[in-house]
Structure 1
Amino acid sequence: MTQNSLMKLLQNKKSIVWLLILIITLLWGYAWVLMKEALAYMGPFTFSSFRFGTGAIVLLLIVWLSKKRFPLRQYWKQLLILGLLQTSIVFLLVMYGLRFVDAGKSSVLLYSMPMWSSLLAARYLGEKLKAAQYAGVLIGMLGLLAILGWDIWEGHSLKVIFGELLIVIAAISWGLSNVYYRLRLQHLPQLETNAYQMLFGTIGIIIATCFTEWNVPIEWNIHSLYYILFTGIFASALCFTVWFLILSLIDMVTATISTLLVPIFGLFFSSLIIGETMSAGVITGSVLIIVGIVIAQLSNKEHDRLKS
């Protein structure tokens, strides 16, 4: 099936679009469990190098098969910066933080990203936040404080708190990458842009790996290979490819809200598969973050509708 025929099918069958969204968010949520489990077999940066190296190769192959010309030489500096912000920094911090933080909780902290995107967009893109958006961001921030504060109250080790802060910084970097993309690269095709930013981001991860985990042993077996191939091919390359097709059919606000299924599935799979327990702080904080993002995004959607 060609891309054009697939797009026509998706345009005519919205139920297929929502089924694909459900499948993608399920896979992304499940990937958090694999990211956590992979740390038993290799260092966090080593795993990220293999994962995104695999993902970048598959994405570049998809771009090559699509036979689309892309002005790489003209935009390589911007793509390098985007790759460092969106892939290198985010997943170096996330994977290191996962050494100390539960997978489900980590997914919730990282997917606080829409709040940081809103604040950064107001600062760098001149977008004015409305009262409902401020309220949504405030509720989400209270959710973050509920998670971090509960762990401090329960006397978790400083390593846990440090890991959680690293993942929050990763969420901020992800939000900053979204703003940078809109400033410098929004006019370029999303699939090709993501393929090349992932390539540059992977190079950054490999450099960090060489400096920090050169002599760290790797245990190769069916499990470690599965974790790398699943997260690299399915969760990174193929899911993103389909996701960018979906983004051309639904509005960005709906897409942002639908990604909140990822931390929900992350919490579910981490509890079901690896037996992680959800504290009252995680449950309360997760609900507040999700509600805050939904309020902020829905108010933004209503604002866009009134302007049109």
Structure 2
Amino acid sequence: MRPRDVLELVILAALWGGSFLFMRVAAPQFGPAALIELRVGLAALLLLPVLAWRGHLAPLWRKAGPLLFIGVTNSALPFVLYAWAALSVTAGFASIVNATSPLFAALVAWVWLKDRLSAAAMAGLLLGLLGVVILVWGKASFRVGGAGWAVAACLAATLNYGIAANFTKRFLSGVDPMAIATGSQFYAALVLAPFAVWLWPEAMPGREAWTSVLLLAFACTGVAYVMYFRLIAHVGPARAIAVTFLIPVFGMLWGAILLDEVVTINMLAGCGVILAGTGLATGVIQAPRRLAVVQGRG
């Protein structure tokens, strides 16, 4: 990759890692539904003119059904789940769980689309699961004061990302990726609008919360999507997915610097094992040849 592409990759990871920080700051004052409505609605307002300038608005109504499904599973539901989890778990913790998204995508592809998984990919899935166990060890309590439900919400969010990725592959193949990104934010905003109105906070959130919302919507969502698809165009999807490995680094970094969050040994160990499993499952990390040639079938 060119130095410029590497720089864009790092900036993108910093933006997406920052999204967990901004949700952590804004969620207590806005509540999950109102916060995410603002996130996806404002992001759609930024992305729609870009899509119109490219002349690719037509898929928004020609593919309304599939885009609505993607809007729910790739934006509305997982974003709300992460925002709700942010009330209980740290930004760094949530960003690490987010790194399991490619693992869930591979698992859903195996179960639903009957994609073949190599032995290396299977080993990666099991390794990623082990990483999750290490990460949540001591946290997954469902008693009062425990973070068990917040952990479950984070994992449910990444499962939704995995479903959305495979649905896109099956039903939106050939559609402009920027149209998918824009449509997902637009339809997510439509779905969440009544819930946001119903659950709108009674007290006006403070300046810090509003600043977090604006940065979350415009920088971490709108600008980040544009950068992501620029990277895919320049270096290809296989290299662009490397951003997955950098997001937890920035998630933990921003949380530690700006919110005084503690980075625990469990977080570092779980992060390392999850990323190793993700690397094997996605082929970024090459397994030994004898392991790689053994094929599994779903």
TM-score, L = length of structure 2: 0.90
The 3-state SS of whatever aligns with 1:151 is coil
CA contact (8 A) 2:28 2:87 kept: no
> Which range moves more in the overlay, 65-74 or 287-296?
65-74
Distance 1:92 1:39 in 2: 10
Distance 1:273 1:156 in 2: 29
1:137 to 2:141 alignment: no
Q: CA deviation at 1:299?
A: 6.2
Which residue of structure 2 lines up, in the alignment, with residue 217 of structure 1? 203
Evaluate the alpha carbon distance shift between residue 126 and residue 227 of structure 1 in structure 2; reply closer, same or farther with a 3 A threshold: same
Evaluate the alpha carbon distance shift between residue 29 and residue 300 of structure 1 in structure 2; reply closer, same or farther with a 3 A threshold: closer
Evaluate the alpha carbon distance shift between residue 301 and residue 279 of structure 1 in structure 2; reply closer, same or farther with a 3 A threshold: closer
1:236 to 2:224 alignment: no
Aligned CA RMSD, in angstroms, stands at 2.2
Which residue of structure 1 lines up, in the alignment, with residue 157 of structure 2? 170
1:24 to 2:12 alignment: yes
- Which of 202, 224, 233 is the aligned partner of 2:189? 202
Q: CA deviation at 1:158?
A: 5.3
Which residue of structure 1 lines up, in the alignment, with residue 112 of structure 2? 124
Which residue of structure 2 lines up, in the alignment, with residue 260 of structure 1? 245
CA contact (8 A) 2:20 2:86 kept: no
Distance 2:114 2:235 in 1: 24
Distance 1:156 1:288 in 2: 27
Distance 1:49 1:157 in 2: 29
Evaluate the alpha carbon distance shift between residue 39 and residue 59 of structure 1 in structure 2; reply closer, same or farther with a 3 A threshold: same
CA contact (8 A) 1:82 1:197 kept: yes
Distance 2:285 2:134 in 1: 25
Structure 1: unaligned runs, 5 residues or longer: 1-12
1:22-61 correspondence to structure 2 within 5 Å: 22-61=10-49
Structure 2: unaligned runs, 5 residues or longer: 294-298
Distance 1:295 1:196 in 2: 31
1:7-49, Cα deviation, whole Å (9 max, x unpaired): xxxxxx8221111111111121122211101124321221111
Distance 2:16 2:143 in 1: 27
Distance 1:46 1:69 in 2: 27
Distance 2:93 2:140 in 1: 15
Q: CA deviation at 1:253?
A: 2.8
1:98-144, Cα deviation, whole Å (9 max, x unpaired): 11111110111122110000011112222111111111111110011
Which residue of structure 2 lines up, in the alignment, with residue 101 of structure 1? 89
Which residue of structure 2 lines up, in the alignment, with residue 15 of structure 1? 3
The runs of at least 4 consecutive aligned structure 1 residues that moved more than 3 Å come to: 155-159, 299-303
Structure 1 counterpart of 2:34, which letter?
Answer: T
1:291 to 2:276 alignment: yes
Q: CA deviation at 1:157?
A: 4.9
Distance 1:99 1:151 in 2: 14
Which residue of structure 2 lines up, in the alignment, with residue 9 of structure 1? none
Q: In percent, how many aligned pairs have the same letter?
A: 19
Which residue of structure 2 lines up, in the alignment, with residue 10 of structure 1? none
The 3-state SS of whatever aligns with 1:259 is helix
Q: CA deviation at 1:301?
A: 7.7
The 3-state SS of whatever aligns with 2:137 is helix
Distance 2:231 2:284 in 1: 22
